[in-house]
Amino acid sequence: MNKNLLLGDEALALGALHAGLSGVFAYPGTPSTEITEFIQLNTLARERGVHSDWSANEKTAMEAALGMSYCGKRALVCMKHVGMNVCADAFVNSAMTGANGGLVVTACDDPSMHSSQNEQDSRFYADFAMMPCFEPASQQETYNIIQAAYDYSERRHIPVLMRLTTRMAHSRAVVSTNTEAREQNTVHYPENPRQWVLLPANARVRNEQLIADFAQFEADAVEMGFNTLTDGTDNSIGIIACGIAYNYLMEQFPNGCPYPVLKVQQYPFPRALARQLASRVKRIIVMEEGQPLVEQRLTGILDTPVKVSGRLDGTLPRTGELTPDCVRLAVGLQPLPERAASQTTVPRPPALCQGCGHRDFYTALNNVIHTYGDTARVFSDIGCYTLGWLAPFHAFHTCVEMGASLTMALGAATSGVHPAVAVIGDSTFTHSGMTGLLDAVNAKAKLTLCISDNLTTGMTGGQDSAGTGRLEAICTGIGVEPEHVRVIVPLPKNYEEMERVIREEIEYDGPSVIIARRECIQTLKRHAAKK
Amino acid sequence: MKQDIILCGVGGQGILSIATIIGWAALDQNLHLKQAEVHGMSQRGGDVQSNLRISDTDIHSDLIPRGCCDLIISLEPMEALRYVPYLAPDGWIITNTEPFVNIPNYPEMDAVNADLDRQGNVIRLDVDALAKEVKSPRSANMVLLGAAASVLKMLPPELFERGIQHVFARKGEEIVNTNIAAFRAGLQAAKK
C-alpha cells in the first residue's frame, strides 16, 4: 500500500488508472477539471499511452468514451454537472446500448454554485436513464469505488455514473492506494451487437431488458456493501445520509451516532434498506447534497407511517451545500457558541485580472454600443469574460449556458433588434458556438459575433482550447464572408481601431465575426516562467 | 489531539502553497488530514479560503464547524476577519498586516485593526516586509507559514523545512533556500 494526499478528483483519477483505464474524455469544468489533469501528468498513464487530450465538449467526450467501451476498453468521462446537459443525448442512450468495456461517467455537482449557474443534481440523470450511480463519502471510498465501478460496469454491461460534489472533488485526504495497476483490456467487441444499433425494433427489445436490469441494479445496491444500515441505541429517529452528508453527521457524534443510520453510496436507491430502517424508527431525516431525490422517493414506498424530514420540510436548508452546522441543528443539537460576524468585512467578488484582454475588448465594445442608446443588446457566455457583467464594465445583458450568446443574438436579430452582438470565448465557441454560427449564416442574420480569443480555456486554469489557430478558417468555412471575419488586438493603444472595426461590422447587413485575440495573461506568465 | 485551521487571503496570494506544505508534513507524521480548497471563479482576485484539519484520529467532515477553528492563517488582514464566526473561543489569528486593496470600498485600516484587537489572540506581521528583509520578496506566504509554525503544535518546525524542500525541489535549490529563509524569518518574528 502507498499513502498519498489526494483531492477527491485525484483519488478518482488514480483509481481509474489502477483499474486499467485506456482513455479519459473530458471538457474542463469546475470542480471536475483536476481528474483529467491528474491523468495527463501521471507517469503510468504516459507509459501506457492512456488517451487524455481534452475533448471539444461533453457530448464529443461521452461519445468517444462510448466508442472505446464498444471496443472493449475501459473509458472515463468527466464533466461538471451542467456538462451532463450537453452530453445528455449520448448519456441516456448509452444506457440503451449498454457498456462492453467498463464505462464510468463522472459528474461533479456544485451545490451552493461556487462556480456554476445552477444546483442541478446528476443523480436524477442516472435515475431516468436507468443507470447505476455511485456517490462516495470519502476520498478513500472514491478510490475504492471507482475500481469496483469498472468491474461492475463490465459485469452488468452498463455504463455507471459517479457523482462527486464540490467538497469531495476539491478536498484532500490521505488515501491508501494499490502498488500495482490492472492491465488494460484488449480490443474485443460486444456479445450482443444488436443493442448497439438503436433502431426502434432493437431499442424496444433493449428497453424491456434495461427495465428488468434496473431491478437487478437495485438489488445490487442492497447487496454490494456500499450501502450500509447501522443500528443505533436511540430509535426516535433514523437517518439516511447520502455521500458526504455522512461525514457531517458523524462529525456531530465523536463517540458514534446514537441513531440508526443508512449510509448511501450506491443507487438505484435501495428501497429495501429504507423499509428496514423505517420499521425501527418514528421519523427519518434524509441528508443529501443537492436536490431532495431520496427524500421525495421515500413517499409511498414505506410500509409504516414514518415522518420524513429533510430539505423539503425545512429540517435542512432547501438550497445550498450541507455543512456540519446545518446538520448539527437537523439532529436537534444546540449550535456551538460562535463569535459575531465581523462588521468591518466587505465582499470581495472575483474580477477580470489586471491587464486581461477581455477588459480592453469590453472597453472598446462599450464605447461603440453606448452610441446606439438603449436598443442595443449584447449576449454573453460562460467563461472568465462573464465577469464583464460586474462593475466597471456592465458590458452585456445575458449569460445562460455554453454557446447561448450567439444563438440568443440570432433570436434578437430575427426579432428586429439592432445591434445584436454576441460575446463568446474561443473555447466556448468551439464547445457549443459553431453550429449556432451556421444557423446565423443560413439566416443571413444581421448580428456580430465577437470571439474574445485568449488562446486558452481560461476560467478553469488554462487548458488547451480546441480551435486555437483555426478560428478564422472555422468561421469562413461555416460560411461567414472572409472580409467580415476581422481580427483585432485588444490593447489600450488600439482602442480607436478596435472601435472602428466593431462599428463597421455592427453596420454590416449580415453575420460578421470579430476575433479579439490576445493571450491570457495567466498563461502568458506561466509560459514566460518556463522559458 | 486535533487542529482545525482556516487559511485565507485573496486569489493568487499563495494560500494553496501553504496548505500543500502543511499537508506534506502531516502525511509525513502519519496524521489524519482533510483539506478543502476553493478552485475556479473566486481565484480571480476574489476571497479564497481553505479548511485544513489535522488530527491523530479519524476526521469526518471536510469542513470546519463554526466556533471550532483553532487557527486562522491569513495573508490579508480583512480576510482574517471574514472567518471569525468559525474561530474557537481560545482560537488564534495569524495575519499579514498589509491590506490587498482591489475593491473600491475597502474599509479603513483603523477599523480593521480595531476589529482584530477585539478578537483576542492575534499575531500580526508585515510578511511582505519580512520577506524583503531576507531577500525573498516573493515568499511572503512562507513567512506567514513560519509564524504559523509557532502555534502548530502537532507538527515540529524542522518538518516544515523538509516540506518546503520537497514541494519546491523541482524549482531549484535557490528557490528552496529563499523559501526556507522566509520561513525562518516568520518563525523568529512570531516568537518575539
Is A167 in contact with B27 (Cβ distance < 8 A)?
Answer: no
Asked if B41 reaches chain A (Cβ–Cβ under 8 Å), the answer is yes
Q: Mean of the pLDDT values across residues A8-13?
A: 98
Question: Do both A125 and A175 map to the same domain?
Answer: yes
A3 contacts B27 by C-beta, under 8 angstroms: yes
Mind telling me how many Å the CA of A104 is from chain B's nearest CA?
24
> What confidence tens digit (pLDDT) does each residue in A359-393 have?
999 999 999 999 999 999 999 999 999 999 999 99
A23/A17 Cα distance (integer angstroms): 9
Report the CATH number that the domain containing residue B154 is assigned in CATH.
Answer: 3.40.920.10
A298 found inside a domain:
yes
Q: Enumerate the residues of chain A whose CB falls inside 8 A of the CB of residue B107.
A: 344-346
The pLDDT confidence band at residue B42, using thresholds 50, 70 and 90, is: low
B119/A482 Cα distance (integer angstroms): 64
Is B34 in contact with A349 (Cβ distance < 8 A)?
Answer: no
Q: Mean of the pLDDT values across residues A213-217?
A: 98
Is B35 in contact with A173 (Cβ distance < 8 A)?
Answer: yes
Asked if B169 reaches chain A (Cβ–Cβ under 8 Å), the answer is no
Which residue carries 475593491 as its cell?
B103
Which domain, by its residues, includes B25?
2-191
A181 found inside a domain:
yes
Which domain, by its residues, includes A183?
2-223
Question: Do both A210 and A259 map to the same domain?
Answer: no
Asked if B128 reaches chain A (Cβ–Cβ under 8 Å), the answer is no
Question: Do both A194 and A254 map to the same domain?
Answer: no
Is B60 in contact with A346 (Cβ distance < 8 A)?
Answer: no
> What confidence tens digit (pLDDT) does each residue in B125-161 have?
999 999 999 998 889 999 999 999 988 889 998 999 9
Where do the H-state alpha helices sit in chain B? 15-28, 77-82, 109-118, 127-133, 140-149, 157-168, 173-191
For residue B137, is the peptide bond before it cis, meaning its omega torsion is within 30 degrees of 0?
no
Is A115 in contact with B111 (Cβ distance < 8 A)?
Answer: no
> What confidence tens digit (pLDDT) does each residue in A289-343 have?
999 999 999 988 888 889 999 999 999 999 999 999 999 999 999 999 999 999 9
Looking at A157, A189, A223, which one is the last position of a domain?
Answer: A223
Is A172 in contact with B35 (Cβ distance < 8 A)?
Answer: yes
Asked if B78 reaches chain A (Cβ–Cβ under 8 Å), the answer is yes
Q: Enumerate the residues of chain B whose CB falls inside 8 A of the CB of residue A174.
A: 27, 32-33
The pLDDT confidence band at residue A109, using thresholds 50, 70 and 90, is: very high
Report the CATH number that the domain containing residue A447 is assigned in CATH.
Answer: 3.40.50.970
Is A351 in contact with B46 (Cβ distance < 8 A)?
Answer: yes
Nearest-Cα residue of chain B relative to residue A172 = B35
Query: For residue A305, what pLDDT is reported?
Result: 87
Q: Enumerate the residues of chain A whose CB falls inside 8 A of the CB of residue B102.
A: 348, 351
Task: Provide the number of structural domains found in chain A.
Answer: 3
Question: Do both A30 and A97 map to the same domain?
Answer: yes
Nearest to B65 among A115, A168, A251 (CB): A251
Task: Please give the mean pLDDT across all residues of chain A.
Answer: 97
Looking at A223, A250, A269, which one is the last position of a domain?
Answer: A223
A108 found inside a domain:
yes
Mind telling me how many Å the CA of A528 is from chain B's nearest CA?
14
Query: For residue B40, what pLDDT is reported?
Result: 65
For an interface test with A, which of B37, B56, B113, B167 has the most A Cβ atoms less than 10 Å from its Cβ? B37
Question: Do both A387 and A259 map to the same domain?
Answer: no
For an interface test with A, which of B34, B47, B61 has the most A Cβ atoms less than 10 Å from its Cβ? B61
Q: Enumerate the residues of chain A whose CB falls inside 8 A of the CB of residue B77.
A: none
> How many residue pairs bridge chain A and chain B with CB atoms within 8 Å of each other?
149
Radius of gyration of chain B (CA): 16
3-state secondary structure A491-510: CHHHHHHHHHHHHHHHHCCC
Residue B43 reports pLDDT greater than 80: no
Question: Do both A325 and A215 map to the same domain?
Answer: no
How buried is A201 (Cβ within 10 angstroms: 0-12 exposed, 13-18 middle, 19+ buried)? exposed
> What confidence tens digit (pLDDT) does each residue in A113-129 have?
999 999 999 999 999 99
Is B39 in contact with A336 (Cβ distance < 8 A)?
Answer: no
Looking at A165, A196, A223, which one is the last position of a domain?
Answer: A223
Asked if B112 reaches chain A (Cβ–Cβ under 8 Å), the answer is yes
Asked if B102 reaches chain A (Cβ–Cβ under 8 Å), the answer is yes
Nearest to A247 among B40, B62, B86 (CB): B62
Residue A424: φ, ψ to 5°? -140, 150
Q: Enumerate the residues of chain A whose CB falls inside 8 A of the CB of residue B68.
A: 336
> What confidence tens digit (pLDDT) does each residue in A25-56 have?
999 999 999 999 999 999 999 999 999 999 99
Mind telling me how many Å the CA of A319 is from chain B's nearest CA?
18
Question: Do both A263 and A313 map to the same domain?
Answer: yes
- Please name the helix (run of DSSP H) or strand (run of DSSP E) that holds residue B3, with its range, or none: strand B2-10
Packing angle between helix B173-191 and helix B140-149, nearest 10 degrees?
50
Is A328 in contact with B78 (Cβ distance < 8 A)?
Answer: no
Q: β-strands B47-55, A283-287: how paired?
A: unpaired
A341 found inside a domain:
no
Query: For residue B60, what pLDDT is reported?
Result: 97
Mind telling me how many Å the CA of B82 is from chain A's nearest CA?
6
Task: Provide the number of structural domains found in chain B.
Answer: 1
Residue B41 reports pLDDT greater than 70: no
A331/B169 Cα distance (integer angstroms): 47
Asked if B103 reaches chain A (Cβ–Cβ under 8 Å), the answer is yes
Is B62 in contact with A460 (Cβ distance < 8 A)?
Answer: no
For A78-92, A217-231, A391-405, B16-30, which range has the lowest pLDDT when averaged over its residues? Answer: B16-30
Is B39 in contact with A168 (Cβ distance < 8 A)?
Answer: no
Residue A412 DSSP SS3:
helix
Q: Enumerate the residues of chain A whose CB falls inside 8 A of the CB of residue B111.
A: 344
> What confidence tens digit (pLDDT) does each residue in A442-456 have?
999 999 999 999 999
Report the CATH number that the domain containing residue A304 is assigned in CATH.
Answer: 3.40.50.920
Give the amino acid at A30. T
> What confidence tens digit (pLDDT) does each residue in A456-498 have?
999 998 999 999 999 999 999 999 999 999 999 999 999 999 9
Question: Do both A454 and A410 map to the same domain?
Answer: yes
Question: Do both A394 and A424 map to the same domain?
Answer: yes
Question: In angstroms, what CA-CA distances link A240 with A137, A249, A274, A316?
Answer: 13, 10, 8, 13
Give the amino acid at A58. E
A348 found inside a domain:
no
The pLDDT confidence band at residue A1, using thresholds 50, 70 and 90, is: confident
Residues 46-65 of B with CB under 8 A from A: 46-47, 51, 59-65
Give the bridge partners for A424, in sequence order.
A451
A47 found inside a domain:
yes
Question: Do both A108 and A176 map to the same domain?
Answer: yes
- Please name the helix (run of DSSP H) or strand (run of DSSP E) that holds residue A431, with its range, or none: helix A426-432
